[in-house]
Amino acid sequence: MSITRASSIKINSIRDIRRESSLSTLDQRRRVYVISHADDMGNEAANMLLKTLEEPPAQSMFILTSAHRDQLLPTILSRCQHVRFDPLTEPDIRNVLIERNGVDETQARLVARLAGGSYSWALELLEKDLMQERIDVVDFISNTLGSRHIEVGEIIERVTAERDRDRVTRFLLLMLIWIRDAMVLAQGGSVINVDQADRLSKFVAVFPRADLSGAMADIDRAISLVERNVYITLVLYTLAGQLKSHIL
């Protein structure tokens, strides 16, 4: 039994798990219950689960996954065996994408940067229209700096049309990489967006005094707000104003 979003687990659901796990099986096979994002459980559900972990039924195993263990109840943590899974490095993901999936190096570098240490997420990104999303990023920056408000609004509407926070986060990550490339290029380094090197060079030449570190900090903050379910359209409009103040 797998529960993919612990935030949707109500106390009655935990009661069902407790009841089912306590039942004996005819073949004595082990039952495995996987609770993903366990840190998103409400207090009632977490306390109910704790009762099960205090006296785990025979032939039952409970696997709790979380990227934020500090948000789990200390009493739950004390009753679990901790297994750490560190994210893969960008070079690891890039090399696997090239060798196993036949991805060209430029795309592999970009996808590896966006994957956040997850190979499965990298594979999902390969199915996205990253080229159009990258164009949207550059157009967003260009239109923002040119005070073309209608065009900026159209891009924001397109990016947020499906209310897909992963899509918006990916858009912001692509923007973060682009601004990072501008900063690196200004210092004579190599960029990730190699196919946009000419446009990056023009950007650096036109805005030599831009506060790119401040711009990157605001993009990071926007990503955090999106992940915290803040109104995404407002986040993007606010970011447009912040970018303009940092770059112009």
Q: For the residues 2-24, what does the mean pLDDT come to?
A: 66
36, 65 Cβ separation under 8 angstroms: yes
Q: Do 154 and 196 reside in the same domain of the chain?
A: yes
On whether both 149 and 165 belong to a single domain, the answer is yes
Do 48 and 114 have their domain in common? no
Q: What is the CATH number of the domain that holds 44?
A: 3.40.50.300
Indicate whether 82 belongs to any domain. no
| CA 69 – CA 46 distance, rounded (Å) | 13
Confidence of residue 7 (pLDDT cuts 50, 70, 90): very low
Quick one: 133 and 233 in the same domain?
yes
In a domain, residue 105? The reply is: yes
Two tokens at 60?
Answer: 């039952």
Residue 170 confidence (pLDDT) above 50:
yes
Domain C-terminal end among 11, 45, 77: 77
Write out the residue range of the structural domain in which residue 28 sits: 2-77
Q: Do 32 and 115 sit in the same domain of this protein?
A: no
pLDDT at residue 204 above 60?
Answer: yes
Sequence-distant (6+) residues with CB within 8 A of 101 are: 123, 126
- Which amino acid is present at 54? E
How far CA 125 is from CA of 137, 162, 175, in Å, comes to 16, 17, 16
Whether residue 83 is contained in a domain is answered as no
Where is pLDDT greater, at 2 or 221?
A: 221
Structurally, the chain folds into a number of domains equal to 3
